[in-house]
Amino acid sequence: MTEVGEFSLIDRATARRRQPATTEIGPGDDAAVVRAPDGRVAMSIDMLVEGRHFRLDWSSPRDVGAKAVAQNAADIAAMGARPTAFVVGIGCPPTTASSVLDELSDGIGSAAEELGAGVVGGDLVQAPSLIVSVTVLGDLEGRAAVERSGARDGDVVAVAGPLGRSAAGYALLREGITDGPLVDSHRVPTPPYASALAAARGGAHAMIDVSDGLLADVGHIAAASGVVVDIDSAAVPVDPAVARVAAERGVVAALDWTLTGGEDHAFAATFADGTVPAGWTVIGTVRAASPDAGVLVDGVSWTGSPSWESFT
Amino acid sequence: MTEVGEFSLIDRATARRRQPATTEIGPGDDAAVVRAPDGRVAMSIDMLVEGRHFRLDWSSPRDVGAKAVAQNAADIAAMGARPTAFVVGIGCPPTTASSVLDELSDGIGSAAEELGAGVVGGDLVQAPSLIVSVTVLGDLEGRAAVERSGARDGDVVAVAGPLGRSAAGYALLREGITDGPLVDSHRVPTPPYASALAAARGGAHAMIDVSDGLLADVGHIAAASGVVVDIDSAAVPVDPAVARVAAERGVVAALDWTLTGGEDHAFAATFADGTVPAGWTVIGTVRAASPDAGVLVDGVSWTGSPSWESFT
């Protein structure tokens, strides 16, 4: 595989896919040109490494591509923006089967297409293991970005999307169970993008992508905003499938997975009381730091399992 | 090193550096927000892998960071745009010394600062070797992008910037010579950004970053434009230092390095005759494909050394 192969790789990710109207110049030149209708772009990068963020015996190359797109798109949605364009850097050993690169590219291309975004450029290089680096641009559609730092005394905190499903699916994979909806949730997250946009349109004060675990990520809002977020554990939605798997195992509480499981790419946000949009579940309240900012569960620090760590 | 370390890494790349006016929201949230004053952005990604694109016994981590920024910025400049923002994904083994990451980040941050661009986000993950993935955004300042496909019958082709210096420096490094300006040119390219902007402002018809070697990259213009580019070898500027090293060795012609050496990140462009800006050297002419598009040297196909390949 020569480095010239980048062209065919990107061709594969974009072939038979129409570029969206935001793509002014697509792949094939020194750089792409993407429209930024409101004069700004949101921008984020994530890097996935084989053996650390995915395993090819657990996930298909297509899953890996779809996951890379979803977790980047979730970062954009958490700002209240809509993804418009992706560029993709792929590193792989020279022995990598071309079918792996084909499927990876197809996973990236079809996930981007579902979001209405273009894959506008890429770079393919030799590397010791499979590495996928995705950068995403997003359009704020004229709104202010929803930052982590906007939570205010008197807000409520709410969540939208799956919680604990990726952690439960990961536990099943470790047991050798490779099928089923929880395992699928681990392989390819399905962030509730429409809920994030509804939050932004509805005037959310702060928002974050739940990738490290609900408590950790709400903690980022608390720290950036200088507030205390108190979560009412009884109000936290526990996914029935997660509850069932936890009960069958008997060694982990479903609430642990729900509060600390990573990689669900749900969203957490704070709103002025009474302004929470449909699709969001209120799980707690925000008050001024007293004196330290942080996150509490039922008024006290959480003493359950620590936050999610990717496998190594 | 935990993945949380990304925050401190990006802090290091941005600490004590003022974000430019184009950075509306910098690092630390789910995504950055960058201004796109003319309603479009140019965008490109490049990935550098240790052992393939750089060696840490030949280049300092600071050099690697500066090189990653320069080669991305050259892609943006080749479209006629000005870099505004970078995001950086870094993969590294858990045993990587923090000084390596510090210096790498500093090299990225200071090179971006010199360009007037911000480092607005990043991701730091564990990987089997050091990997640097940089995505750059650029501002076209209201101009049309200068694509590869715009060369026309009757144009002249011209170059700006160093040619063959990186290849000569690489040859010296392989001999164990680790000091001197040619070696420095290999470690950190210095694209003539101002010349690329002058070309765009002066109405260049086509432009490309010379990264694969002059003939290969002019060949990309020829193929994209459907033209023949005929280079007059006597007009090609041979760098005196490259000529000296070639003469001393006696095994390679300076013209070979000049025509086919990679990674100089000079620029090649075509212009209507009589519109070539200062700083550019005319090296040949463009004519309609007859019948095949391609690049010739003195009217015939080049039979010297093949184009540049990265080491390993």
Residues A159 and A261 in one domain: yes
Which one of B34, B44, B52 has the shortest CB-CB distance to A121? B44
Determine the pLDDT at residue B312. Answer: 34
Report DSSP state, residue B272.
-
CB atoms within 10 A of CB B242: 28
Distance linking the first and last C-alpha atoms of chain A? 28
Question: Inter-chain contact A89–B133, Cβ cutoff 8 Å?
Answer: yes
Of A91, A121, A139, the position where a domain reaches its end is A139
pLDDT at residue number B141? 97
Position with higher pLDDT, B304 vs A15 = B304
Secondary structure element (H or E) that encloses residue B265, with its range: none
**Cα A92 from Cα A127, distance rounded (Å):** 5
Q: Is the dihedral of CA B297, B298, B299, B302 positive or negative?
A: negative
| Domain ranges, residue B97 | 3-139
Task: For residues A177 and A226, state if they share a domain.
Answer: yes
How far apart are alpha carbons B263 and B191 in whole angstroms? Answer: 10
Segment A119-139, tens digit of pLDDT: 999 999 999 999 999 999 999
In a domain, B302, yes or no: no
B197 and B82 both lie in a single domain: no
Together in a domain, B44 and B163: no
Is B75 assigned a ligand-binding role in the annotation? Answer: yes
Place of tokens 């209240």: A80
Nearest-5° angle of CA A67, CA A70, CA A72? Answer: 110
pLDDT at residue A9 in the model: 61
The DSSP string of B125-164 is EE-SS-EEEEEEEEE-TTSPP--GGG--TT-EEEEES--S
- Reading the block at residue B131, the tokens are 């990997």
Report how far apart the first and last C-alpha atoms of chain B are (Å, whole number).
Answer: 29
My answer on whether B161 and B291 are in the same domain is yes
**Amino acid residing at A47:** M
Dihedral sign, Cα of residue A177, residue A179, residue A183, residue A188: positive
Q: Is residue A312 part of a domain?
A: no
pLDDT of A168 over the 50 cut: yes
Position A276 pLDDT exceeds 70:
yes
The pLDDT value recorded for residue B16 is 60
User: What are the Cα distances from residue B159, in Å, to B67, B149, B194, B283?
Assistant: 21, 17, 13, 7
The pLDDT assigned to B191 comes to 98
Distance of CA B4 to the CA centre of its chain: 31
Host H or E run for residue A126? strand A118-126
- Collapse the DSSP code of A59 into the 3-class scheme (helix H, G, I; strand E, B; otherwise coil) and give the result: coil
pLDDT (mean) for A128-156 = 98
Q: Determine how β-strand B82-92 pairs with β-strand B118-126.
A: parallel
CA distance B274 to chain A (A): 26
What is the ipTM for the molecules in this complex? 0.94
- Mutation target among B3, B7, B45 for the A interface, most CBs of A within 10 A: B45
Point out the residue among A25, A43, A52 whose CB comes nearest to the CB of B34. A43
Report whether B67 contacts B108 (CB < 8 A).
Answer: no
- B209 and B96 in a common domain: no
Is the confidence at residue A11, as pLDDT, over 70? no
Residue A4 has pLDDT above 60, yes or no: no
Contacts A44 to B, Cβ<8 Å:
30-32, 87, 121
Same structural domain, A132 and A156: no
The residue whose two tokens read 């399992």 is A305
| pLDDT for residue A250 | 86
Q: Check: CB of residue B138 under 8 Å from CB of residue B43.
A: yes
The beta-carbon neighbor of B75 closest among A30, A91, A209 is A30
SS3 A77: helix
Is-contact B199 B210, C-beta < 8 A? Answer: no
Q: Are residues B200 and B134 in the same domain?
A: no
pLDDT per residue of chain B (312 residues) written in tens, 0 to 9: 334 445 456 666 665 678 999 999 999 999 999 999 999 999 999 999 999 999 999 999 999 999 999 999 999 999 999 999 999 999 999 999 999 999 999 999 999 999 999 999 999 999 999 999 999 999 999 999 999 999 999 999 999 999 999 999 999 999 999 999 999 999 999 999 999 999 999 999 999 999 999 999 999 999 999 999 999 999 999 999 999 999 998 888 999 999 999 999 999 999 999 999 999 999 999 999 988 999 999 999 988 765 544 443
Same-domain status, A123 and A165:
no
Determine the Cα–Cα distance for residues A78 and A196; give it in Å rounded to an integer. 6
Q: State the sign of the Cα–Cα–Cα–Cα dihedral A250, A253, A254, A260.
A: negative
Decide if A87 and B44 are in contact by the 8 Å CB cutoff: yes
Q: B92: closest CA among B66, B59, B123, B69? A: B123
Å between B244 CA and nearest CA of chain A: 31
Q: Are residues B125 and B172 in the same domain?
A: no
Instruction: State residue B12's pLDDT score.
Output: 64
Domain holding A48: CATH number?
A: 3.30.1330.10
Task: Judge contact between B103 and B61, C-beta under 8 A.
Answer: yes
Q: Is residue B213 domain-resident?
A: yes
Domain boundary among B107, B139, B171: B139
Cα torsion B178, B182, B184, B186 to 10°: value is -100
Chain A CB within 8 Å of residue B274 CB: no
**Where residue B192 sits, what CATH number does that domain have?**
3.90.650.10
A:58-77 residues touching chain B, CB 8 A cutoff? 74-76
Subunit contact A30:B122, Cβ cutoff 8 A: no
For residue B10, the model assigns a pLDDT of 61
A21 at B interface, C-beta within 8 A: no
Asked if B79 and A31 touch (Cβ cutoff 8 Å), the reply is: yes
d(CA A1, CA B90): 23
**pLDDT tens, A230-260?**
999 999 999 999 999 999 988 889 999 999 9
Number of domains in chain B: 2
Choose one of A119, A139, A159: the last residue of a domain. A139
CB contact under 8 A, A49 and B127: yes
Min distance A247 CA to chain B CA atoms (Å): 31
pLDDT at B4: 40
